[in-house]
Amino acid sequence: MYLRIKGVSPEDKQRGIAAAQAVIDAAGITALRACSGMFALECWDDGGFVGELNDEDWEAAAAWLDAESAAIDACCIGWPEDKKPGVSSLEYYADGESPPH
């Protein structure tokens, strides 16, 4: 996983990624499955909410969103809410892939 967030140190990012992984582990799924659920949710949204999203994708997407929130909170421990970065994203890259710089 990769955390794209401005204004935090590399150590803060690593703490955030560890927090995200802990949430995903607690959900009993892999990061890939959580990310896939989020992708399914985004595609369903982009498609105008036609049909229904299955329960597994809902749960996986919820885990991804919770993981992203935990990552931001872990990066910004002690920061006032108005100082936390407004834009961030948790991203998944398979082994051997690199996030764009």
- pLDDT tens per residue across span 1-52: 999 888 889 999 999 999 999 999 999 999 999 999 999 999 998 989 888 9
Q: Which helix (H) or strand (E) holds 4?
A: strand 2-5
Q: Quick check: is 101 in a domain?
A: no
Q: How many domains does the chain have?
A: 1
Question: Domain residues for 31?
Answer: 6-91
What predicted TM-score, i.e. pTM, was given to this entire model?
A: 0.85
Q: Quick check: is 99 in a domain?
A: no
Between residues 70 and 77, which one has the greater pLDDT? Answer: 70
Q: Quick check: is 70 in a domain?
A: yes
Residue type at position 44 = W
Q: Quick check: is 98 in a domain?
A: no
Of 59, 54, 56, 60, the closest CA to residue 31 belongs to 60
Q: Quick check: is 39 in a domain?
A: yes
Q: Quick check: is 72 in a domain?
A: yes
Alpha-carbon gap, residue 13 to 62, rounded angstroms: 21
Alpha-carbon gap, residue 57 to 85, rounded angstroms: 28
First-last CA distance in the chain: 14
Q: Quick check: is 71 in a domain?
A: yes
